[in-house]
Structure 1
Amino acid sequence: MNTIAALTTLNFLLADVRDGLGPYLAIFLQGQGWSAIDIGYVLTIGGLAGMIATTPMGAFVDATRRKRMVTLAAALAVTAACLAILYFPSFPVVSISQVLTGVVGAVIPPAIAAMTLGIVGPKEFSHQIGRNEAANHGGNVVAAVACAGFSYLVGIQAVFFVMIAMAVGSIAATLAIKESAIDHDVARGLDKSAKDNGASGFSVLLKTPALLIFGLILMLFHFGNAPMLPLVGQRIEALGLGNAVFWTSVAIIVAQAVMVPMALFAARIAERYGYVPLLLAALVALPIRGIVAASVTDAWIAIPVQMLDGVGAGILSVVTPALVARMLRGTGRFNVGLGAVMTVQGIGASLSTTAAGYLVQDGRGWLSALGIETGFTGYGVAFLGHGAVALIALAVFLATMRLMPLEPEAGHVHGGAASGPTPATA
């Protein structure tokens, strides 16, 4: 297996590893008798751990020349966390496991992005990121199909064993990547002709206002987006609408199936037209998703809800690393920059789960206290509330888009960023 094939395979196998148990954890804990608020707490704990770890992990990936070993350790950590939750589903154990999963989720994306940049270089980075994300979404489809099928045989426990199997496979794919194929200076975004001035990654970030604005937009987007699928699964389980594992798996399959072409399409659109149409599409899709989810309580509504997720999240999975690399080109701080952006978006994602729990339980009462009566259930109020946050993100983007390098790059060649220089700061 050549290095590019191994890298693509690694992204396929890490699909069900880097995000942890995701929406399945909420279903599993719901079945264990946990309340919506307690579920929200442990999801928030994991999100906060990831948020705190993300920027330091990005700096660590910039510094280390053993990026493959970092990926191996992350896969082993996820395996241990899954086993702990499965056999000891108490609040302390689940919380600790979520912390571990959060840290793993913080290190895998910059490690993969760094290896990709170090292997293919900046000219082919956008193109390979599109391939990586298409493989990642394809892996999620396969994992979700496996979870849906095996859940009928062994129950929710199937989710844990599918994830463990993919983690083991990712170890083999990581070992197939040749260490010599990774240029560690290029992997951190340092130009060959430039000298590392020793400036801290954080000082570089503070001098890049476009990156800070982009991080704020992503924070708002992920605050609205993160709880959507877990809420769909919880509503199915709570209202007895069907097999929550099956419908959640179907929803994941649909979303990931949409994300595969969206990832490839987004890379091509960025090359030809820049990032404006992509970010507009992603930000508009989320409030529509909230309205659709709130309007229909049947289990099948998970399908159109997740098709819209495939549009928004599929676009951002490509745009985020590619745009950060463009903003920080030549600084040698690409991975800490990507980590910082992920930290900020992690703030939104981690806080959103607890907010969603309170909206489900108390949202209708809060609206009634304000004199607003609604026919929506608590879940409906939560869907609408989180969808509305994306409108704020859209407003921020429209007000600040001129500060970000969103236009297509001149001198583009097949697959990605142009060879011409791009300012590191806005």
Structure 2
Amino acid sequence: MSDAAISPPPNPRAERALDFLSFALSDVRYGLGAYLAVYLLTEHAWDEASIGLALSFGGMVGLVSQTPLGILVDAIRAKRALLGCAVVVVTATSLVIPLAPHFWAVAAAGVIGALAGTTMSPTLAAMSLGIVGPARFAHRAGRNEALFHFGNAAINLVILLTAPFVGTAIVFVMMVVTAAASLWAVTRVPANAIDYELARGLLPDRQGHGHRPSPWSTLLASRPLMIFALTGALFHMANGPMLALVAQRLALSHPGQGIMFTAACAIAAQTIMVPAAALAGARADAWGRKPLFLVAFVALALRGSLYTLSDHPAWLIGVQLLDGVGAGLIGALFPVIVADLTTGSGHFNAAQGAVGTVHAIGGILSGTLVGFLVVNAGYHAAFLALSSIAAAGGLIFLIAMPETRVGSTVPMVLQAK
């Protein structure tokens, strides 16, 4: 069956709503992000190890919940309501932290927020796939990611410009504003524009027929999907703590300016993430997924090494531009590669959760490792360790991962039929 045969007719209204939703979710999808570490470090005198430990609880919950929540996204038709509820919960847990900035309160808020936040990316990807179909999904995923990063840059610019006058409170104000915008955008997506079977990865001739493998068997039976999961874990192990480490380093060396420097780092990265994600969406079908993904590994390994050459704020913020290359490409290509390898299974979102679980293991392990390295060996040792992990992941990906675009590799679930 051709891609054209499984592509719904264009729906400009639905796609405009997806555009605004991708933009508005930029400040909600990951909660307070790196600002939380800076807030706890500078406003409440937490040390790096305590911050890493408190945030690891939410990370662990996110790890174990991704596959079950992916199954939920596959099963539930009320995807708009699911996304709206997630926005409300993540925002509420972020606003609780200033009221109770204590270890167990922060840890509990992180756990609840992680459960809600974990549903956002797969739900948005599912809605997008259900609206545009497989033929246009790579372009749509790239557009979603580019708009997400554009929104993130715009919001961080507002924080950068207003933090000297408003203080830390602006971070929480922006959470409320973007949450309200996200809820409005969700209501603008027409419910009847989403093909709920395509949204879970089913093809028209397989909808409602035959036995489908479980999400974990979908992952374990596919060598390419396993390689993608394991190398992605190494990427996230190297990438996860880097922005927080840079922000902490700048906050400690420039007291009172931590929020502004964190915003500057985020803006630097986001300005590159927008064109990187757009490039991935525009060229992934023509160039293939593999070369673009490899560029992300190279940028990450180089970034970790360059952080050790100077402590000057201009240098650290400049190197942060490389974060835009890696994160922009990875964010745009992740759902596309999973969709390539799960076509016909009906488990697109659950497989995103299963692969994301493996990826999250890397991020969680790195939080503890980096906290230990910073306390005992310093920031330079931590950055070099993360750079080495990125280089190892890129080498494995280069050697073992096949190209997944249509015509290069038969999707795993179709091989099994």
2:261 paired with 1:275: no
Q: Answer whether contact 2:232 2:359 (CA < 8 A) is retained.
A: yes
Shift of 1:168: 1.2
Partner of 1:46: 58
- Counterpart CA distance in 2 for 1:273 and 1:209 is 22
Residues 314, 354 of structure 1: alpha-carbon distance in 2 compared, 3 angstrom cutoff: same
**Among candidates 104, 119, 123, match of residue 116 of structure 2:** 104
Q: Answer whether contact 2:269 2:322 (CA < 8 A) is retained.
A: yes
- Counterpart CA distance in 2 for 1:389 and 1:421 is 30
2:26 paired with 1:15: yes
- Counterpart CA distance in 1 for 2:383 and 2:17 is 39
Residues 391, 166 of structure 1: alpha-carbon distance in 2 compared, 3 angstrom cutoff: same
Partner of 1:130: 142
Q: CA RMSD in A?
A: 1.7
Q: Answer whether contact 1:65 1:184 (CA < 8 A) is retained.
A: yes
2:357 paired with 1:380: no
Per-residue CA shift, 1:216-253, capped at 9, x if unaligned?
11100011001111001111122236712111111111
Q: Answer whether contact 1:207 1:425 (CA < 8 A) is retained.
A: no
- Counterpart CA distance in 2 for 1:196 and 1:20 is 40
**Paired AA for residue 102 in structure 1:** A
Q: Answer whether contact 1:58 1:339 (CA < 8 A) is retained.
A: yes
**Paired AA for residue 409 in structure 1:** V
2:363 paired with 1:398: no
Shift of 1:15: 0.7
Q: Answer whether contact 1:241 1:299 (CA < 8 A) is retained.
A: no
Question: Secondary structure, in 3 states, of the residue corresponding to 1:20?
Answer: coil
**Among candidates 401, 409, 413, match of residue 424 of structure 1:** 413
Report sequence identity in percent.
39
Q: Answer whether contact 2:143 2:281 (CA < 8 A) is retained.
A: no
**Among candidates 41, 56, 60, match of residue 30 of structure 1:** 41
- Counterpart CA distance in 1 for 2:203 and 2:86 is 29
2:235 paired with 1:221: yes
Partner of 1:71: 83
Shift of 1:129: 0.7
Partner of 1:367: none
Residues 225, 66 of structure 1: alpha-carbon distance in 2 compared, 3 angstrom cutoff: same
Partner of 1:5: 16
Shift of 1:280: 1.5
Per-residue CA shift, 1:123-171, capped at 9, x if unaligned?
1111111111111001101110121122112211211110121011100
**Among candidates 404, 409, 412, match of residue 406 of structure 2:** 409
Q: Answer whether contact 1:196 1:332 (CA < 8 A) is retained.
A: no
Shift of 1:423: 4.7
Shift of 1:105: 2.5
- Counterpart CA distance in 1 for 2:103 and 2:412 is 48
Taking structure 1 as the reference length, the TM-score comes to 0.91
Residues 204, 422 of structure 1: alpha-carbon distance in 2 compared, 3 angstrom cutoff: closer
Taking structure 2 as the reference length, the TM-score comes to 0.93
Shift of 1:353: 1.6
Shift of 1:271: 1.2
Shift of 1:422: 4.2
- Stretches of structure 1 that go unaligned for 5 or more consecutive residues are 364-377, 411-417
- Counterpart CA distance in 2 for 1:83 and 1:331 is 39
Shift of 1:258: 0.5
Instruction: Spell out the pairing of 1:287-306 with structure 2 (5 A cutoff).
Output: 287-306=301-320
Q: Answer whether contact 2:310 2:316 (CA < 8 A) is retained.
A: no
- Counterpart CA distance in 2 for 1:103 and 1:311 is 28
Q: Answer whether contact 2:26 2:149 (CA < 8 A) is retained.
A: yes
Question: Secondary structure, in 3 states, of the residue corresponding to 1:10?
Answer: helix
Per-residue CA shift, 1:24-50, capped at 9, x if unaligned?
011000011101100111222221111
- Counterpart CA distance in 1 for 2:254 and 2:317 is 18
Shift of 1:207: 1.3
Shift of 1:395: 2.2
Partner of 2:389: 389
